[in-house]
Each structure stands twice: as C-alpha cells, then as structure tokens.
Amino acid sequence: MRLTAARLARAIEDGIVARGWPVGEVIGSEEQLLAHYGVGRNVLREAMRILETHGVARRRQGPGGGLVVVAPDAEGVVESARMFLNYRHTRLSHLYDTWIALESLALTTVAQMDRRPLDGLRDVITRTRQWDEQTGALTAGRPNVHVEIARMTGNPMLELCLATLFAIATDAGARRMPAPAAARMRAVDVALVNALDRGDAEEAQQHLRRLVEMLAQYNQGDDPRVGARG
C-alpha cells in the first residue's frame, strides 16, 4: 500500500510511541527517513508538517538536524475540546457537573494514599494568594490547586481531563475577580486540602461542591456556553 502523508505521519508517531516517546531524540534526517520509508520528498515533508501540527516532532535544520521528538502540548487538546463543546452548545452547568464528578474521584484517590505529600498543594495556594495580590485576581493564568490534585493521582487520563476542563472554565470567564470573592475561594481550597490531610475524602468533596457553587453564582448572568469568551 502506498503511504500517504497522513499514514506516514501515523507510522512515524507509532514508532515514537514504541520507543517510549524519547523527547529530544533525532529520529532521522530527511534523507534517512526518505530511505527508510521509501516515499517521495513531498510526502515526507507533508508528514513532517502534520507531526509538527500535532505536537509530536519538529524539524531541526543544520548539522545534526532532522526530525526531533518533542513533548506534546496540552493546549492543542484544550483548543479542540473548546471548539467541540461550543459546537455542541455545551453549557457551563454541564462543565460544573463534570468537574464535581471527576475531581471527586481524584479527591478519593489522594485521600486513600498512604503518603499524601500535600506541601505542594499548600504551595499552590500560597502562589494563588500572591497572584491575586499582584494581578487583582485575574483568572487567566491563576495558579490552580485542583490541577495539582489531579496530577497527584498518578492517572494521566484524569489529569488531562481535569486540566482541559479547568482551562476551558477559566477561559469562559476570564476577568478579574473581586478581592473578597477570590479570598473566599482560597479559603475553601485551604479547607479542602486540610480535609485531604486528614484523609477525609467526603469532607473534601463537600468543600469542592461549595467551591463550584460559589463559582456558578459568581458567573451568573454570563453567557452560559462553555465556548463563549469573556
């Protein structure tokens, strides 16, 4: 079967996955890849463009150059999810329901750990307070302790889903929060982390639901669609 650019890109990606996704490794020069796959130069270059677009690899010029493996950027996933959710007319209420369901699982997982290194979570809350003081509680770019909780689970799928959800939620209502509202939300985050420290997943989930209720009230009157930009 003759390789198209799309099939070639997939074949190269499959090879990268099989090798453990070695970030920074040169998997071949243009000439080496042409010889290995037996394709024309135009097909190879289009395949390389596809790999660059998908965040799999990039071309490096000069001596020692070629196709270099890169770490995928989650931003592409977020943008694709945003477009799909906007197309499906998804509402912020759907996002909040999904947030509670997914993070409740994350909280249970972390609370059940024999060792719960929570200093990192408290550090995020400290950085959030500093961010709020320096930026006037700008939501875009604001440190998010819930992303770190998802990361602590060791479940890449859960981490990706929650990170995507948080990015879309933040973008949907990007603005500066009133200082009292930001302080109240940080206080709930502190209470949630303290509950995790005691291994109390149920209490942590109660604080999560309270936080989501506060956020929903804060966003009342906004465009209810997830994909809408503030």
For residue 28, what pLDDT band results from cuts at 50, 70 and 90?
very high
Mean pLDDT of 93-113: 95
CA distance 34 to 139: 47
pLDDT tens-digit map of 87-102: 898 888 899 999 999 9
| Dihedral sign, Cα of residue 176, residue 180, residue 184, residue 187 | positive
Our CA angle for 117, 166, 193, nearest 5°, is 30
Using the predicted structure, report yes or no on whether residue 2 has a pLDDT greater than 70.
Answer: no
Is the pLDDT reported for residue 193 higher than 90?
yes
The stretch 171-180 carries a mean pLDDT of 74
Q: DSSP string of 155-177?
A: -HHHHHHHHHHHHHHHHHT-SBP
The answer to whether residues 104 and 161 touch, using CB atoms and an 8 Å cutoff, is no
Distance from C-alpha of 169 to C-alpha of 148, rounded to nearest angstrom: 16
**CATH-assigned architecture of domain 5-69:** Orthogonal Bundle (1.10)
Q: How large is the average pLDDT for residues 164-171? A: 79
Query: For the purposes of burial, counting CB atoms within 10 Å of the CB of 108, is it exposed (0-12), middle (13-18) or buried (19 or more)?
Result: middle
Q: Which residue has the tokens 């809350």?
A: 125
- pLDDT of amino acid 47: 96
Q: How confident is the model at residue 163 (pLDDT cuts 50, 70, 90)?
A: confident
Residues of the chain with CATH 1.20.120.530: 74-218
DSSP-derived letter for residue 118 is T
Match domain 74-218 to its CATH number in 1.20.120.530, 2.60.40.10, 1.10.3720.10, 1.10.645.10.
Answer: 1.20.120.530
Domain boundaries for CATH 1.10.10.10 within the chain: 5-69
Among residues 203, 210, 211, the alpha carbon closest in space to that of 110 is found at: 203
Nearest to 12 by CA among 31, 75, 21: 21
> Would you say 99 and 212 are in contact if contact means Cβ atoms under 8 Å apart?
yes
Q: What sign does the dihedral 122-124-128-131 (CA atoms) show?
A: positive
d(CA 83, CA 26) in angstroms, rounded, equals 33
Query: Residue with structure tokens 């993070």?
Result: 103
What percent of the chain lies above the pLDDT cut of 70?
Answer: 92
Position 174 pLDDT exceeds 60: no
pTM over 0.85: no
Instruction: Compare 92 and 171 and report the one with higher pLDDT.
Output: 92
Q: Looking at residues 183-203, what average pLDDT do you find?
A: 97
Tokens representing 189 are 């985050």
